[in-house]
Amino acid sequence: MFLTNRDMVELQAFRHDLHRHPEVSGEERETARRVVEALRPLAPSKLLTELGGHGVAAVFESQEPGPTLLFRAELDALPIEEKSQADHRSTVAGKGHLCGHDGHSTILLALATGLSRQPIARGRVVLLWQPAEEDGSGAAAVLADPRFAEIRPDFAYSLHNMPGLAFGTVALKSGPVNCASRGMKIRLSGKTAHASQPETGLSPMAAMSRLMPALTALSNGAPPATDFTLATVTHASLGEQAFGIAPGDAEIWVTLRTLIDDRMAELCEKAEQLVVEAAQEAGLDHAISYHDIFFHCENAPEAVAHLEEALTSEGVRFDEGTLPMRASEDFGRQRAICPSAMFFLGAGEKHPALHNPDYDYPDDLTTIGARVFMAVIRKGLG
């Protein structure tokens, strides 16, 4: 093992510090500063900051030519109030590291610690702390940053901790592992009226009531079926918070989900047609916009083979688990750049689920994740 007991104590302290100070997507300035502060003593060959927003990339380069391997973690937390009694619980009201990105960031810092002591024989390693994963904008912004050309990889790897999976075991497979998704925001506009004379206005209430079940009825099947679709209404609002006004406007938010990108256009078209029909029948104006766009995440067989070899060498048990999963992950954009693969590291079968208010990343996963990634590096670059 390339980490000492003192390293593990310091890494845990780093993770707990991140956990106390969560920042949501697009606001990770202080989180990035903490990462940079921890990296500087490790003397990476190159350190890029403000990459695609608040992203950080540490490059460890050898003197010999060889491939570039990229390992990605996330910086952002969630806009959820943490309910925990831990000493390191969030100090920021309404925000918390309830997905484990603080732990993933710590795994990459553990890798940086090892690479600073035992340089690679050839090629280079890029450790990427990416912003804004939770809203799907971060990977796109990083890849669009002109400086990404400096660190463009030949292979990219990532992991995510996974409650519900036995602790320390891994789910891994080739092909789709995370679904494509996007948020559809629907605006219905009519005309307000006095609540005593609703007939003088134009209420979107009936159209809204019709649309919500119609949209959710677009759901079909479950992964791994390629025709899997899921439409989930996540928010709805009607009119003003007043007893004297009959409503004139309504808004519906729905998350659309498909196993693969190729199915998303068809699902969007069906959902849009439902909106058009409901609005026209009620005489309403309508507007549609899309947000939080995630491409499906597909593991390349050659990258999976590298991970399988590393897992075997480290004695970590793995199988396909219940992959692919319904959840989305913006690491899927990496496959447009190079062969990539993500594995899912068990946080425990009874561990609180991701995004739950009582979730906390298990610190003992840091050693396992770092060992596996380091095995990929040593086998690929010596």
323: left (phi over 0), alpha (psi -120 to 50) or beta: beta
134 pLDDT higher than 80: yes
Q: Are residues 252 and 313 in the same domain?
A: no
Please say whether the beta carbons of 61 and 46 come within 8 A: yes
Q: Are residues 157 and 47 in the same domain?
A: yes
- Tell me the chain's radius of gyration from C-alpha atoms: 23
Segment 348-370 mean pLDDT:
98
Q: Which of 54, 233, 227 is nearest to 138 (CA)?
A: 54
Span 295-336, pLDDT tens digits: 999 999 999 999 999 999 999 999 999 999 999 999 999 999
Res 131: pLDDT: 98
Q: Which of 254, 270, 294 is the last residue of a domain?
A: 294
Segment 184-199 mean pLDDT:
98
213 pLDDT higher than 80: yes
222 pLDDT higher than 90: no
1 pLDDT higher than 80: no
- Please, where are the H alpha helices in 90-246? 101-117, 138-144, 205-216
Q: Are residues 221 and 126 in the same domain?
A: no
Count CB neighbours of 324 within 10 A. Answer: 24
In one letter, which amino acid is 130?
Q
Q: Are residues 239 and 316 in the same domain?
A: no
CATH of the domain at 305: 3.40.630.10
Please say whether the beta carbons of 117 and 14 come within 8 A: no
Alpha-carbon distance of 194 to 367, in angstroms, equals 64
With tokens 């990219």, the residue in question is: 156
Q: Which two tokens stand for residue 3?
A: 């980490």
How far lies 333's CA from each of 126, 136, 156, 286, 328, in Å? 17, 10, 11, 31, 11
Alpha-carbon distance of 217 to 91, in angstroms, equals 41
Q: What pTM value is reported for the model? A: 0.94
With tokens 């939080």, the residue in question is: 292
Alpha-carbon distance of 352 to 361, in angstroms, equals 10
Q: Are residues 347 and 210 in the same domain?
A: no
Alpha-carbon distance of 306 to 72, in angstroms, equals 16
164 pLDDT higher than 90: yes
| Domain count across the chain | 2
Q: Are residues 344 and 268 in the same domain?
A: no
- What is the overall mean pLDDT for the chain? 97
Question: 283: helix, coil or strand?
Answer: coil
Res 233: pLDDT: 98
Span 249-289, pLDDT tens digits: 999 999 999 999 999 999 999 999 999 999 999 999 999 99
pLDDT band at 341, cuts 50/70/90? very high
pLDDT band at 221, cuts 50/70/90? confident
Q: Are residues 100 and 188 in the same domain?
A: no
Q: Are residues 151 and 231 in the same domain?
A: no
Q: Which of 274, 294, 314 is the last residue of a domain?
A: 294
Alpha-carbon distance of 316 to 314, in angstroms, equals 6
Query: Phi, psi (5° rounding) for residue 18?
Result: -60, -40
Alpha-carbon distance of 30 to 11, in angstroms, equals 18
Q: Which two tokens stand for residue 169?
A: 């075991």
Res 382: pLDDT: 78
Q: Are residues 12 and 38 in the same domain?
A: yes
Q: Which of 271, 294, 317 is the last residue of a domain?
A: 294
Q: Which of 332, 339, 345 is nearest to 380 (CA)?
A: 339
Full residue range of the structural domain in which residue 237 is found: 180-294
Nearby residues of 295 by Cβ (< 8 Å), 6 or more positions away: 180, 261, 330, 332, 333
Q: Are residues 267 and 141 in the same domain?
A: no
Q: Are residues 81 and 148 in the same domain?
A: yes
Q: Are residues 235 and 338 in the same domain?
A: no
